């Protein structure tokens, strides 16, 4: 697919450390969240996002060398023990990764790292699930994401609020017993939550300093539902928690996810801007704060595709990130776009050349 925009720094090597794969073409999308903003149409456009669609994006002009798949409840096993059904997702993605590794479809090593799901509330019993993921991953399994996203206002998370996630999942004693099973297996934890929950993550990181925690989507700033119109007013509290997390050496942060509706940049997903400069101006306070707090070696840009397709295409997204990093040193840029992700997710097989 030819790029419709001029690609900035086209030779810069990139690892995209956060994307999904799914086929939801048979689902009824009429009741999906944020239909009032045209999101149902966007979901219909990306109801199928498999290897072909991913490569159509990564081949658009940016030099994407490898990717990391993040769990999204895709291709779970239809039967068998409930706790093990999520292993079906890892089995599926491992097959996709093997196809990409053949080189038949180009140089991008898609899904060379896999982050799956396990219910950590199983406590020590989650060990069986983790071992099954590791086996299914064929050397590519890197960690767990167990979403802690919650808000008392159901309008914030929409249908995602029906998943039964408690208000303080990260403080649940059984969850923490399961969390303790990660580090002995060399597994990291991807944390998806909303900004009001960041205090819980700070406590988790301090309690388990030996476990690498990857904070997704700059910590989930919110500006919809009961928080509508309050994003700027809440910025200082978000920044304080980001700084507290940065003081925990075991935490790194993904720079992205601001194309989702939660932050409340309604103009961007209502109009889908082609201008990377416009997006960069809107997102700069969050991106720059994270880089200042964590340093480039603990930050990584992420696409969050196809979800952030709500706001812009893949070419525009990475142009936005490159524009945001324009004043960084070469070493800092290499960390932000490649090295941090390669180190954290142990992607030794991905070459920057």
The domains of the chain are located at 13-344
**13-344 maps to CATH 3.20.20.140:** yes
Query: Closest by alpha carbon to 193, among 222, 173, 172?
Result: 222
HSE-CB at 345 with a 13 A cutoff on CA atoms is: 34
CA separation for the pair 25, 47 (Å, rounded) = 5
User: ∠249-253-258 over CA atoms, to 5°?
Assistant: 160
- Whole-model pTM: value is 0.94
> What was the pLDDT predicted at 164?
79
- Mean pLDDT for 225-245 is 95
pLDDT level of residue 1 (50, 70, 90 thresholds): very low
Using pLDDT thresholds of 50, 70 and 90, give the confidence band for residue 34: very low
Q: Could you give the dihedral angle defined by the CA atoms of residues 76, 32, 213 and 81, in that order, rounded to the nearest 10 degrees?
A: -20
DSSP 144: E
**Per-residue confidence band for 266, with pLDDT thresholds at 50, 70 and 90:** confident
Q: Please state, in angstroms and as integers, the Cα–Cα distance from residue 38 to each residue in 23, 31, 252, 269, 285, following that order.
A: 20, 12, 33, 8, 26
Residue 162 has pLDDT above 50, yes or no: yes
- What pLDDT, in 10s, does the model give residues 269-313? 667 766 899 999 999 999 999 999 999 999 999 999 999 988 899
142, 113 Cβ separation under 8 angstroms: yes
The per-residue pLDDT of the chain, averaged, comes to: 92
Please give the helix or strand (H or E) that residue 214 lies within, else none.
strand 213-215
Residues 22 and 48: their CA atoms lie apart, in Å, by 6
pLDDT category, 161, cuts 50, 70, 90? low
Which H or E run contains 113?
A: strand 109-116
């Amino acid at each position: 697919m030819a790029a419709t925009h001029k690609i900035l720094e086209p030779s810069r090597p990139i690892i995209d450390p956060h994307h999904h794969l799914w086929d939801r073409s048979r689902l009824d999308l009429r009741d999906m969240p944020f239909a009032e903003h045209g999101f149902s149409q966007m979901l219909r456009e990306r109801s199928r996002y498999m290897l072909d669609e991913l490569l159509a994006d990564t081949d658009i002009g940016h030099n994407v060398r490898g990717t990391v798949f993040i769990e999204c409840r895709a291709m779970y096993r239809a039967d068998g023990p409930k706790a093990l059904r999520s292993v079906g997702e890892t089995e599926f993605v491992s097959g996709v990764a093997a196809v990409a590794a053949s080189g038949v479809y180009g140089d991008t090593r898609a899904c060379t790292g896999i982050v799956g799901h396990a219910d950590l509330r199983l406590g020590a019993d989650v060990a069986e699930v983790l071992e099954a993921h590791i086996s299914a991953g064929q050397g590519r399994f890197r960690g767990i994401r167990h979403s802690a996203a919650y808000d008392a206002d159901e309008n914030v998370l929409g249908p995602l609020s029906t998943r039964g996630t408690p208000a303080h999942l990260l403080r649940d004693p059984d969850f923490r017993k399961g969390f303790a099973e990660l580090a002995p297996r060399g597994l990291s934890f991807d944390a998806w939550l909303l900004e009001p929950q960041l205090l819980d993550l700070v406590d988790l990181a301090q309690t388990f300093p030996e476990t690498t925690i990857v904070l997704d989507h700059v910590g989930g700033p919110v500006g919809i539902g009961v928080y509508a119109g309050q994003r700027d007013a809440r910025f200082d509290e978000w920044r304080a928690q980001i700084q507290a997390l940065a003081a925990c050496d075991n935490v790194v942060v993904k720079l992205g996810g601001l194309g989702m509706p939660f932050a409340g940049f309604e103009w961007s997903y209502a109009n889908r801007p082609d201008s990377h400069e416009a997006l960069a101006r809107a997102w700069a306070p969050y991106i720059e704060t994270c880089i200042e707090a964590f340093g480039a070696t603990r930050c990584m840009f992420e696409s969050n595709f196809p979800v952030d397709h709500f706001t812009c295409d893949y070419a525009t997204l990475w142009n936005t990130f490159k524009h945001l990093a324009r004043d960084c040193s070469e070493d800092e840029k290499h960390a932000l776009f490649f090295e941090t992700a390669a180190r954290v997710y142990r992607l030794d097989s991905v070459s920057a050349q």
